[in-house]
Structure 1
Amino acid sequence: MSKVLVTGGAGFIGSNLVDKLVAAGDQVTVVDDLSMGLITNLSKNRQVSFYQKSITNHDFMKKLLLQENFDYIYLLAAVASVADSIARPYETHQINQEANIYILEVIRKYHLRIKKLLFSSSAAIYGSNPELPKNENSTVDPLTPYAIDKFSTERFVIDFGKLYGIPTVAVRFFNVYGPRQNPKSPYSGVLSLISQAILHHSAFTLFGSGEQTRDFVFIEDVVQALLLLTKKSDLKYEVFNVGSGKHVSLLQVIKVYEKISGFKLKTNIRDERQGDIKHSYADITKLLAVGYKPKYSISSGLKLYWESLQN
């Protein structure tokens, strides 16, 4: 049994990870301010301790870290909205960078013996770099406060870890989808928005031709990667893309989803948005080399997602 901290653990990715940790017999502590996460995402289980707190609450975080002596720490809490980071750059910086650095500083200062700390970064750091597929050594071009914070925190986590002997890794998520994705989020994933449109027979707004491609990766594959890089390997001081390694256009996704759901999606077509990236997908060679095996195609993943929405 391990003691595990998951920040942002009531959110989409976090709560799916918590389920797997609980199933493995771990004692899990979740810190989430519920600005995006939902308490209903967490099972009422004695193995889960929940605190509705912001990770920017330094006194609380310090006390928790010193009291619990965690084996594993997953830093998933973030304001994931690019638009939000543009509107409130300093406020989102406090959450997306500052709070994470403070956690590292407590670990360093008090010589906490953790087995692994994982930070969740984003494919947004690649920006408008046209190189495809994106690999971990591709040029980064973070274009927004969100992407800047993700990249700089990623570097901090890796190099701070090296400098002070704290075992750290970082992951760059591509387009994650699946059960518990919050459609009410103003920055919800496009698949979540398509799902809601089909579910409620409402119109979906398609920006541009629909030919833009993305690397959609199912949540179960993402959790597999997180556990592989923390509990199932001794890897440290490295960054990994987490995606499916495949790219699919929005038009293809809509076609597959219509087939699975049996409904025709109503679309409102608008001009493509300025700054939207046309094509993006991950080179996952590095992750495959350490034993990652993505199991879900866009069809099998969407089928499970659609079934979860029916319930």
Structure 2
Amino acid sequence: MKVAITASDAFVAPYIIDALGDAAVVIPDEALEDSMTLDVMLTPCNALIHINSRPVNTSVARNDREAKIMMREAARPVLDAVNRHGELHMIIVGTLRVYTHWSPGDDYYGPESSLSPRDTAAEGQLWIEENALERAESGRPVSVIRASNVQGVPLEGPPGNGILHRWANESQIGWINVPGSGEDVKDLVHVQDLVQTVLSVLEDPPLTRESFAVGSGKGITMSELANIYNSKTGASVELNQSSEGEVWGIVDAWFLEHRCGFRPMVSLEEMIDEALAASGY
């Protein structure tokens, strides 16, 4: 099996490419401008993974008007190429930001969760997802994977990705900035578990279409998490900092286990230790 990867980011895509090894066919962004080149590169492929979390140009903020336009225009040639290809399983990897804002007591994120994009990039993400799902058919299925708060160290090395790594770096100066009151809940998942989910879906495509969330299924309040950092580093806890852009809520891991046959394996303790080690603790 050959697997194409488009809209590669600097964090998740390298892990997917590394896991696929010789099966990976990385489509450079410039190839998307030439349909003939794109078709040639897709000819040996059975599947295509499109990273759909934000614009490839990271200088564009999530709420910039350009974010949606850039994501949409970058995805159009990919969607059209999938249509031209005989049989191709398309996997779209995005974030939970397309869902309605979550509050304690709400249902876990699952296949039936309401959709309401939280920022302009999330609008672009949902536009791509919906267009792909509409085109899905037997022999050309579509899987939409929406990841929770993904943590880990890029393959090229620190700095790490996610709030655990942000706090590990802040601890070096003696305090950590906690978004919100401390009562909000995050579901943290390691990049290796997200990649394992993608590989599982590759091995077992849906009949036509599917969409689901990926997370650990375990929530922790920001106060509880901050206290762990305080006990490990001695850093003081600064509550009521800006929570703009934060993603709260818990994923229904039972559905993930039912669909993919496993639950995320990297524990919160392991993720915290990795973050502290990457920051020099």
For residue 177 of structure 1, what is the aligned residue in structure 2? 151
Of 127-136 and 245-254, deviating more is 127-136
- Deviation, 1:86, is 1.9
Task: Specify whether residues 27 and 265 from structure 1 end up closer, same or farther in structure 2 by C-alpha distance, changes over 3 A only.
Answer: same
How far did residue 205 of structure 1 move?
A: 2.4
Superposition map of 1:102-251 within 5 A: 102-109=77-84, 111-114=85-88, 116-128=89-101, 130=103, 131-162=106-137, 165-180=139-154, 189-198=162-171, 200-201=172-173, 203-230=175-202, 232-235=203-206, 236-251=208-223
Whole-angstrom distance in 2 between the partners of 1:54 and 1:93: 19
The Cα shift of 1:156 comes to 1.5
Residue 253 (str. 1) matches residue 219 (str. 2): no
Shift of 1:273: 4.5
Q: Is 1:263 matched up with 2:246? A: no
The answer to whether the 8 Å contact 2:165/2:279 transfers is: no
Percentage identity across paired residues of the two chains? 19
Residue 271 of structure 1: how far off its partner (Å): 5.0
1:71 is paired with a residue whose SS is strand
With the length of structure 2 as denominator, give the TM-score of the two structures: 0.83
- The question of 1:288 aligning with 2:257 is answered yes
Amino acid at match of 1:301: M
CA pair 30-305 structure 1, distance change in 2 beyond 3 A: farther
In the alignment, the residues of structure 2 paired with residue 75 and residue 275 of structure 1 have an alpha-carbon distance, to the nearest angstrom, of 22
- Gaps in structure 1 of 5+ consecutive residues: 32-50
Structure-1-length-normalised TM-score: 0.76
The residue that corresponds to 1:85 in the other structure is 62
Higher relative contact order, structure no. (Cα contacts within 8 Å, ≥ 6 residues apart): 2
| Partner Cα distance (1:286, 1:62) in 2 | 39
Measure the CA separation in 2 of the matches of 1:195 and 1:274: 20
Distance 1:126 1:103, change over 3 A: same
Gaps of 5+ in 2: none
Q: Give the aligned partner of residue 10 of structure 2.
A: 11
Per-residue deviation, residues 44-82 of structure 1 (Å, max 9, x unmatched): xxxxxxx4x367x422x651332342222110153287x
Question: Which amino acid in structure 2 is aligned with residue 193 of structure 1?
Answer: R
Aligned mates of 2:47, 2:38 — CA distance in 1: 14
| Distance change >3 Å, CA 62–CA 129, structure 1 → 2 | farther
CA separation of 1:193 and 1:219: change in aligned 2, threshold 3 A: same
Superposed displacement of residue 143, structure 1:
3.1
Name the structure 2 match of 1:30.
Answer: 26
